[in-house]
């Protein structure tokens, strides 16, 4: 059954945590802890104490970001491979589970949204649908709007590799650093990034502010600042 998203965060801020490698460094997580999380010798929630400034915020975790801590309110995913890999972990996650992937529709504990075929890029205004935008991060922005967000803060929406050539802030997919150019050319960044100009246009029309808190991001459709700058600015 398709979920009609309620406006439970009407007029508020919503933080969305993506998979980009800048996430822990925006919170000054020590490099040795980042390395251990990447190597799998520490769990992702080792970052959690450093991310305490947003523990009391409204937070959507994209894909593996739900593993950062129980303070994540919502996990959003759209890929069947992710669901098959993380089914058991998702089942025990206490927050709201949302998917726009048909492969998980048989699970009653997951709230399902359709993909708006007439508005595949941008922000759908139908509360039972999302613009897929070719990636879960883009769909999560649409979900935040449905939930009533007036301002959306993006974390880990890098769309590029970090200095260690990692694609994500973790290595839970087991792919390791991107060391050869052939593999780099196959990365989905160029496909994913095309949707954000549509998202920006729709957000402006709907009166929703979006700030990219990934200063080195390749997405240039929203104002950028660091997490520190934003938190200082909003004290």
Quick: pLDDT tens for 86-107. Answer: 999 999 999 999 999 988 888 9
Q: Tell me: the pLDDT tens digits for 62-95?
A: 999 999 999 999 999 999 899 999 999 999 999 9
Domain coordinates in residue numbering, the chain = 13-233
Across 1-5, 27-31, 45-49, 116-120, least confident range: 1-5
Across 36-50, 119-133, 161-175, 218-232, least confident range: 161-175
Predicted local confidence at residue 160, as pLDDT: 85
Which CATH class for the 13-233 domain? Answer: alpha beta
d(CA 130, CA 73): 19
Predicted local confidence at residue 68, as pLDDT: 98
> How many other CB atoms are found less than 10 A from the CB of residue 41?
9
What are φ and ψ of residue 201, in 5° steps? -65, -45
Q: Predicted confidence band at 235 (pLDDT cuts at 50, 70, 90)?
A: low
d(CA 67, CA 131): 25
d(CA 67, CA 44): 6
* pLDDT at 161 > cutoff 80: no
Residue 227 to residues 17, 70, 85, Cα–Cα distance (Å): 12, 21, 31
Handedness of CA 228, 194, 16, 93 (dihedral sign): negative
**Angle 17-19-25 from CA coordinates, rounded to 5°:** 80
Query: For residues 119 and 146, is the Cβ–Cβ distance under 8 A?
Result: no
Q: Nearest to residue 140, comparing CAs of 83, 69, 74?
A: 74
Query: For residues 45 and 68, is the Cβ–Cβ distance under 8 A?
Result: yes
Helix (H, G, I), strand (E, B) or coil at 99: strand
Q: List % helix, strand, coil for the chain (3-state, nearest 5).
A: 35, 15, 50
């Amino acid at each position: 059954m398709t979920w009609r998203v309620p406006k439970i965060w009407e007029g508020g801020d919503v933080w969305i945590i993506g998979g980009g490698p800048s996430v822990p460094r925006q919170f000054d997580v020590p490099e040795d802890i980042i390395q251990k999380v990447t190597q799998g010798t520490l769990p992702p929630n080792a970052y959690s104490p450093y991310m305490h400034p947003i523990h009391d915020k409204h937070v959507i975790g994209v894909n593996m970001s739900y593993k950062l801590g129980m303070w994540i309110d919502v996990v959003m995913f759209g890929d069947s491979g992710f669901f098959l890999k993380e089914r058991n972990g998702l089942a025990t996650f206490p927050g709201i589970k949302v998917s726009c992937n048909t492969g998980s529709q048989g699970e009653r504990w997951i709230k399902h949204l359709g993909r708006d075929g007439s508005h595949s890029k941008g922000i759908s205004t139908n509360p039972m649908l999302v613009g897929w935008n070719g990636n879960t991060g883009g769909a999560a922005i649409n979900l935040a709007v449905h939930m009533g967000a007036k301002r959306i803060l993006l974390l880990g929406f890098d769309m590029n590799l970090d200095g260690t050539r990692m694609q994500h802030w973790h290595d839970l997919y087991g792919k390791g650093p991107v060391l050869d150019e052939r593999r780099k050319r196959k990365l989905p960044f160029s496909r994913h990034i095309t949707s954000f100009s549509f998202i920006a246009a729709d957000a402006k029309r709907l009166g929703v502010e979006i700030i990219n808190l990934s200063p080195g991001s390749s997405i240039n459709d929203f104002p950028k600042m660091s997490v520190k700058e934003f938190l200082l600015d909003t004290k």
